Amino acid sequence: MLRFRQQSVLPGFGIAFGFSLFYLSLIVLLPLAALVAEAAGLGLTGIWNIAVEPRVLAALRTSFGLAFLAAVADLFVGFLIAWVLTRYQFPGRKLLDAVIDLPFALPTAVAGIALATLYAPNGWIGAILAHIGVKIAFTPAGIFVALVFVALPFTVRPVQPLISEIDRSLEEVSATLGASRWQTIRYVIMPMLSPALLTGFALAFARSVSEYGSVIFIAGNLPYVSEIAPVLIVIKLQEFDYRGATAIALIMLALAFAALLAINLAQAMRRRRYGHA
């Protein structure tokens, strides 16, 4: 029996794979290798000593802790927004759908200035909150607001296509069998959407951890209070402490990689469990 190999519109595997590997190495692996090589001059002991400095620990805790909280908040809000935009027709829907992508196009510095203006004690929203004793700008809460803003599209866009592909008859069958709305969401909708939700969470978390431009204007950047790790890296560079800066960057890289690896493993297990592998 003759077997026909499916043809691809791209060049052969050797050419395509070689170009992909070259491009990936040039754009991603080479800069990361340079980062590791620069930090390696400190040795493991030197990197560890920098990692356990109180100011560095505080900055890392602020960056990763608030990035996680912002990703969780965006996960819930992004799911609701994606559901509304996909399942309902209403005036201004296309405009709202376009606004979701605004953080992609808006320079982060502009976003930071806008948020600082809104949430400052004399801002439109900050002035109202000040009357009840709540302060957002120049506090960790301001960092949280900025991270939620910049990472929101990453939790909306991966979920929208899957919601549109869900057959509504499945929900009708579930209701016919006596399931409540919550049971339908939990046992019918969520298993199909969970891979996309985890992907959105991972993207939002990665985006939040690396954010710098919008945060510096609203955070206050106080050491041990509202200073994030990227700001501390810039401070090290301004002090010409290049190895200290690369050591902090390497620590952030390792922590971010570990977190994303855990999320991807959870996603793979979820897909295998529900037969989406």
Q: Which residue in this structure is represented by tokens 């709540």?
A: 134
Tell me, what's the pLDDT at 123? 85
Sketch out the chain's domains with CATH numbers: 44-273 (1.10.3720.10)
DSSP annotation of 89 reads -
Q: Where are the alpha helices (DSSP H) in the chain?
A: 13-24, 30-40, 43-51, 54-87, 93-99, 102-105, 108-119, 124-130, 140-156, 160-165, 168-176, 181-184, 190-209, 229-238, 242-273
Give the count of beta carbons closer than 10 Å to the beta carbon of residue 129: 16
* Average pLDDT of span 181-201: 84
pLDDT in tens, 198-246: 889 988 998 999 888 889 888 888 889 889 999 999 998 888 888 888 9
Give the count of beta carbons closer than 10 Å to the beta carbon of residue 204: 29
Cα-Cα-Cα-Cα dihedral of 183, 187, 193, 198, to 10°? 100
- Nearest in space to 79 (alpha carbons), one of 189, 167, 217, 207: 189
Query: Where residue 69 falls among pLDDT bands split at 50, 70, 90?
Result: very high
Q: How far apart are CA 84 and CA 93, in angstroms?
A: 9
- Nearest in space to 253 (alpha carbons), one of 66, 46, 29: 29
Tell me, what's the pLDDT at 204? 93
Tell me, what's the pLDDT at 1? 47
Mean pLDDT value across the chain = 85
> pTM for the complete prediction?
0.84
Q: For the chain, give the percent of residues with pLDDT over 90.
A: 25
Q: Higher model confidence: residue 39 or residue 206?
A: 206
Tell me, what's the pLDDT at 277? 42
**CB hemisphere CA count around 34 (13 angstroms):** 7
